[in-house]
Amino acid sequence: MTHVPLAYIARNLTARKLTTLLTAGGMALVVYVFATVLMLAAGLEETLVGTGQPDNVMVIRRGSQTEVQSGVDRPSAAIVESLPDIATGADGKKLISKEPVVLINLPKRDSGKPSNVVIRGATPAGLELRPQVKIVQGRMFQPGTSEIIAGKSIAGGFRGAALGETLRFAQRDWTVVGVFDAGRTGFNSEIWGDAEQLLQSFRRVSFSSAMFKLADPSRFDAVKAEIENDPRLQLEAKRETKFYADQSEALSKFISYLGVTISVIFSIGAIIGAMITMYASVASRTNEIGTLRALGFSRAAILVAFLGEALLLGLVGGLVGLIGAAFMQAFSISTMNFQTFAEIAFSFTLTPGIIMASLAFSLIMGFVGGFLPAARAARMKIVDALRAA
Amino acid sequence: MFVPFLVLKNALRHKLRTSLTVVGIIVAITAFGLLRTIVEAWYAGAEGSSSARLVTRNAISLTFALPINYAQKIRQVPGVAAVSWANWFGGVYIREGNFFPQFAIEPSFLDLYPEFVLKPEEKKAWMVDRKGAVAGRKLADQYGWKVGDQIPLRGTIFPGTWTFNLRAIYDGADAKVDETQFYFHWDYLNEAVKAKYPRRADQIGMYFIEIRDPSQAAQISQDVDATFKNSLAETLTETEKAFQLGFIAMTEAILLAVQAVSFVVIIIIMAVMANTMAMTARERYGEYATMKALGFANGFVALLIFAESIGIALVGGALGILLTFPLAAAFAGALGTLFPVFFVSQETVLMQLLAALVVGIVAACIPAWRAARVRIVDGLRATA
């Protein structure tokens, strides 16, 4: 079977620029929305999954889903600390960090609207357990003082949280002496201070969580069973990676469901646009189709040619939309995760999977929009088509 | 009669193209309306709140409690008519996905909310049952609860499984009232907590204050907060509306995105419609030239295109608006309690109509401009 030359197909799109521009533009917008929303969900997942370390174990009160809801009293924390499976640090001490975690209300820097920010009582072991945390401005807080360090997203996004500024909470003024960057993790949306100081000022007697590093990561299931079966403890243990991944579940599902539903509905509009364009393209070239058929091109070749034109139209729209979406990577978004009630900042992340999905989506739009017009073109009788002029 | 007739004839010349365009507009206007309804549903909690109620909570954040003796002190603040309190329970019903708000309330809480309508005998039954609970109509319908059912909740903040007897179901006084809440006795929670975790007993999450004169809300809020200034638990008092808006503001980034996206669909359909009109006008350049040769003005030719475009857009818009209502109803049914209040407002309908009109006008601009400018000679030659 002889194919209609590709150059013929492509040139048809340039013949009527306004029409091509408008149709591809509509598709580009749909693909842009589709890709952006998936990038948002991917960014959130990446941030929260990246927050955990695979050989760290998070211990919280049974049934509580977040650290803020949880409570681990000192006797329970001591029992956990006595487990033999905990790794030891360079100084010979066990690598376990018992941390109070609370939410405080802070005003956002640009709008002044309050949002919930996580304050974590950190310990030297806690820092060793999270090697991704790096001080980028100022210095570490001094233990035993009212000094705090702020995550990068918080320092920029909230009033009083930048280097050298002070925050007032729990009847004290806290000075921000450092800003830390933890890469693409949830810690960037936290404020850290000395654990004992925070416990005292918030009048808390129990920690929120205990986190430790496993000496032998393969022993996780045994350690988990030991903690959860201990009759003295009302605690549960999770790998840190899973703990944070669970927290992104609802929000990222919500974003991707909403986004995909919206994109599919929107694509109906773009598909109709492609259909109108392709029907017009077929109608205005009835003569040419007749000539092509007379020259010996088969019905199938005509069908493929017009489908190819529609697919090309979709591909152009898809590429333009993707390029637009790729620019979104420069932005990050900060919102409340409704599973933790705490602010979380994350950026748009373009993954190979999203690129493939977006291009496939644009091709599907082109195919669906182009199929009926292409079939009409293929069904034409040579004589009628040639007579149409 | 000549002009409308000509426009109608023109619009029906390409029946397939016109009907495809109309379908596109229907989809876009319906999607636009639904997205706006979702955004409005988000704000509905704040819309439905009364300005005569204040909420007092711990100044640090909602996760910190207040002592129970504050009730007495708040009652003494001038202008305060009544005080009640509630604790967020945060239980899980069967599985995590079944989210609905649950509060342990002091019984007079329901008196502060006259918009929650209870049958007197059910209310009485709830009052005398220590493990009794009250649920909103929408919530009860979603899970098929009937009065007398036992409802187990697994506590996330208060450990253990708690079982409640559903004693009453409340209805909202109007469509704006949230019918997805679940209430039970604060005393029951407090006694259980006292037995297990004495330190966590007698703690209040939020105080709800009814004030005599809503115009005094700002002053009374200040007075309440001043009472507890420099104490261990400083308070933050605001109107119920501000309290609700504070929650919405936290998820504002997502709301803004949904709002932005709702305008994208209009732009998409604008492109589709503009394409239709461009093609239509292009095919008729010869006719336009003929009309001009007969003495019709440039403006008249442009008017024909505008009228056709706006006509098609408005027909699609009107059908889209009609379709929004059943779809929104189906949507609300499928979402259940996720959005307590979900209905298409008058404003949304007006916005939809406006969007359709704008699409019609914008789509006709370039084709009309081109058609008006077409020279008679060129136009006539195009047909030949």
Residues of A in contact with B251 (CB under 8 A): 335-336, 338
Mean pLDDT of all residues in A369-379: 92
Instruction: Report pLDDT for A13.
Output: 85
Q: Is residue A1 part of a domain?
A: no
Residues of A in contact with B157 (CB under 8 A): 64, 69
Instruction: Report pLDDT for A8.
Output: 85
* DSSP secondary structure letters along B82-111: EEEEEEE--EESSSTT----EEEE-TTHHH
**B135 min Cα distance to partner chain A (Å):** 22
Encode pLDDT of A78-102 as tens digits.
Answer: 999 999 999 998 888 899 999 999 9
Instruction: Report pLDDT for B382.
Output: 66
DSSP-derived pairing of the beta strands B203-204 and A332-337: unpaired
The structural domain count of chain A equals 2
- Is a pLDDT exceeding 60 seen at residue B211? yes
Encode pLDDT of B305-364 as tens digits.
Answer: 999 999 999 999 999 999 999 999 888 877 766 777 788 899 999 999 999 999 999 999
pLDDT band at B55 (very low <50, low <70, confident <90, very high): very high
Measured between CA atoms, the residue of chain B closest to residue A258 is: B258
Contact B279, A281 (CB under 8 A): no
Inter-chain contact A170–B60, Cβ cutoff 8 Å?
yes
Residues of B in contact with A258 (CB under 8 A): 258
Q: Least CB-CB distance to B155: which of A33, A63, A105? A: A63
Instruction: Report pLDDT for B310.
Output: 95
Inter-chain contact A26–B268, Cβ cutoff 8 Å?
yes
Instruction: Report pLDDT for A1.
Output: 58
| Burial category of A379 from C-beta neighbours within 10 Å (exposed 0-12, middle 13-18, buried 19 and up) | exposed
Residues A261 and A324 in one domain: yes
- Lowest pLDDT segment from A198-207, B44-53, B165-174: B44-53
- What global pTM score does this model have? 0.83
- Lowest pLDDT segment from A43-52, A140-149, B98-107: A43-52
Half-sphere exposure of B177 (CA within 13 A, CB side): 16
Taking residue B306's Cβ as centre, other Cβ atoms within 10 Å add up to 20
Any idea of the CA torsion for B255, B256, B258, B262, to the nearest 10 degrees? 140
- Is a pLDDT exceeding 80 seen at residue A223? yes
Instruction: Report pLDDT for B32.
Output: 94
Q: Is residue A207 part of a domain?
A: yes
Instruction: Report pLDDT for B365.
Output: 92
Inter-chain contact A272–B27, Cβ cutoff 8 Å?
yes
**Which single residue is written with the structure tokens 């579940």?**
A249
Inter-chain contact A341–B272, Cβ cutoff 8 Å?
no
**A62 min Cα distance to partner chain B (Å):** 7
Instruction: Report pLDDT for A124.
Output: 87
Alpha-carbon distance of A76 to A207, in angstroms, equals 10
Question: Among the three residues A201, A217, A243, which one is the final residue of a domain in this structure?
Answer: A243
Instruction: Report pLDDT for B384.
Output: 47
Inter-chain contact B60–A22, Cβ cutoff 8 Å?
no
Contact B134, B84 (CB under 8 A): no
Contact B273, B97 (CB under 8 A): no
A252 is written with which tokens?
A: 């990222």
Percent of chain B past pLDDT 70, that is, above it, reads 98
Question: Among the three residues A199, A217, A243, which one is the final residue of a domain in this structure?
Answer: A243
Measured between CA atoms, the residue of chain B closest to residue A253 is: B97
A385 is written with which tokens?
A: 């088509």
Instruction: Report pLDDT for A317.
Output: 94
Any idea of the CA torsion for B287, B288, B290, B293, to the nearest 10 degrees? 180
Instruction: Report pLDDT for B131.
Output: 94
Residues of A in contact with B264 (CB under 8 A): 29, 32-33, 266
Residues A295 and A235 in one domain: no
Any idea of the CA torsion for A111, A117, A121, A127, to the nearest 10 degrees? -80
DSSP-derived pairing of the beta strands A342-347 and A134-138: unpaired
Rounded to 5°, angle at Cα B315 from B312 and B320: 120
Residues A134 and A206 in one domain: yes
- Is a pLDDT exceeding 80 seen at residue B47? no
Residues A363 and A301 in one domain: yes
**Sign of the alpha-carbon torsion through A14, A20, A25, A27:** negative
Residues A23 and A89 in one domain: no
φ/ψ of B261, rounded to 5, equals -65, -35
- Lowest pLDDT segment from A45-54, A291-300, B23-32: A45-54
Residues A206 and A275 in one domain: no
Domain range enclosing A229:
54-243
Tell me which of B99 and A56 has the higher pLDDT: A56
Mutate to test the interface with B, among A21, A22, A61, A108 (most CBs of B within 10 A): A22
Residues A13 and A125 in one domain: no
**B234 min Cα distance to partner chain A (Å):** 9
**A334 min Cα distance to partner chain B (Å):** 7
Residues A104 and A164 in one domain: yes
Inter-chain contact B236–A105, Cβ cutoff 8 Å?
yes
Inter-chain contact B276–A276, Cβ cutoff 8 Å?
yes
- Lowest pLDDT segment from A235-244, B63-72, B88-97: B88-97
**By C-alpha distance, which of A76, A201, A223, A219 is closest to A144?**
A201
Instruction: Report pLDDT for A334.
Output: 83
Q: Is residue A197 part of a domain?
A: yes
Inter-chain contact B265–A280, Cβ cutoff 8 Å?
no
Q: Least CB-CB distance to B268: which of A30, A105, A338? A: A30
Tell me which of B310 and A50 has the higher pLDDT: B310
Measured between CA atoms, the residue of chain B closest to residue A29 is: B268
Q: Least CB-CB distance to A25: which of B31, B236, B271? A: B271
**B125 min Cα distance to partner chain A (Å):** 31
Contact B64, B200 (CB under 8 A): no
Inter-chain contact A279–B23, Cβ cutoff 8 Å?
no
- Is a pLDDT exceeding 70 seen at residue B263? yes
- As for the ipTM of the complex, it is 0.79
* DSSP secondary structure letters along A49-112: HHHS-TTEEEEEETT--STTT--B-HHHHHHHHT-TTB-B-TTSSB-EEEE-EEEEEEEBTTT-
Q: Is residue A303 part of a domain?
A: yes
Alpha-carbon distance of A43 to A47, in angstroms, equals 6
Residues A133 and A163 in one domain: yes
Instruction: Report pLDDT for B219.
Output: 92
Which range in A272-276, B147-151, B380-384 is most confidently predicted, on average pLDDT? B147-151
Residues of A in contact with B90 (CB under 8 A): 69
pLDDT band at B383 (very low <50, low <70, confident <90, very high): low
Residues of A in contact with B334 (CB under 8 A): none
Q: Least CB-CB distance to B16: which of A26, A114, A279? A: A279
Mean pLDDT of all residues in A236-257: 86
Residues A297 and A153 in one domain: no
Q: Where are the beta strands (DSSP E) in B159-287?
A: 161-172, 182-185, 203-204, 206-211, 235-239
3-class state of residue B115 by DSSP: coil
Q: Is residue A123 part of a domain?
A: yes
Question: Among the three residues A188, A210, A243, which one is the final residue of a domain in this structure?
Answer: A243
- Is a pLDDT exceeding 60 seen at residue A389? no
Instruction: Please list the residues that pair with A342 across neighbouring strands.
Output: A337
Inter-chain contact A19–B254, Cβ cutoff 8 Å?
no
Percent of chain B past pLDDT 90, that is, above it, reads 53
Residues A217 and A274 in one domain: no
Encode pLDDT of A307-344 as tens digits.
Answer: 999 999 999 999 999 999 999 998 888 888 877 778 88
Residues A221 and A78 in one domain: yes
The overall average pLDDT reported for chain B is: 89
